[in-house]
A and B are shown apart, each in its own frame.
Chain A
């Protein structure tokens, strides 16, 4: 049986433009805001419901996003106890990042080698 992975704390630093997640297994994930926006899992950002997947698109790790309202976080809210939703400065707020998706999106070298 695999123990469930969930965040202990989530910090969105608008100054550094990095979202930090400390997980219950003590792993520390640092997500640049641009990566989170590029990986927004909503149907609109993925180009339709048929393109929605439970895992991040590998392309998002090579995408570079400039500083703009589309990559600035206005607010972060928990969705129940299973996911996170982000409201962006351009008004976009449809993406629901569940814990599994968010963990798979961790850009650290250890996670990327898995």
Chain B
């Protein structure tokens, strides 16, 4: 009894009581009031509350580094390293420059020095994924393209300002042909996502276009199936394209193979005979014999 009452203070005994496998007496259970038990404890607010950082006080400026630095100095505290640099000033200067360039309509970047008069690169605007905002646009670009190339291209061809460019180089998928013994690497595609000043949302496809495309696909598939049919499936009519390839089905009568062979020969000889007769009679009438 002693052991259990003082288990907090004497840890060794607690370890010793591990080997007791029978159920302990309920009188020795810890006494807790139901009302005191909080079932769903909040998972926040239990940490130590800290005073807000000095840097958090500055919220209304775009380039707050200078002001934050001043605040720390006023409170005679060491300025954090990230607020010591001049990067904010540089960013501010660049921002001013960018605004001016937008106003004057000049490019917002250093234009490349190689002049291309007839770009042959194929740039393809892609539909956005779920992760993209309307201010982003994704392009399929040639593999030899880099970020600057795309920025230059979009500016000079479309007058579109790419504010930021990120690259996604897709891995080459394995491809496997029906008769191949091995798998091969397919092409690697490069895609680039840009940030834009103005939002762009792809227009929704008209319903009838989607429907027509589906119909056309199904029809073409049916026709391919019909043309590649083997054996008796060649007799199968196809209703694809509104019955464009559907020939009228005439009923055949059964004629033995031998009758066909003999009949064809005798009929053709009969025809020849008749033709020669008519030719002769025409000739006779012309020559007035």
Query: Is B truly associated with A?
Result: no
- Which residues of B line the A interface, CB within 8 A? none
Chain A residues proximal to chain B, CB less than 8 Å: none
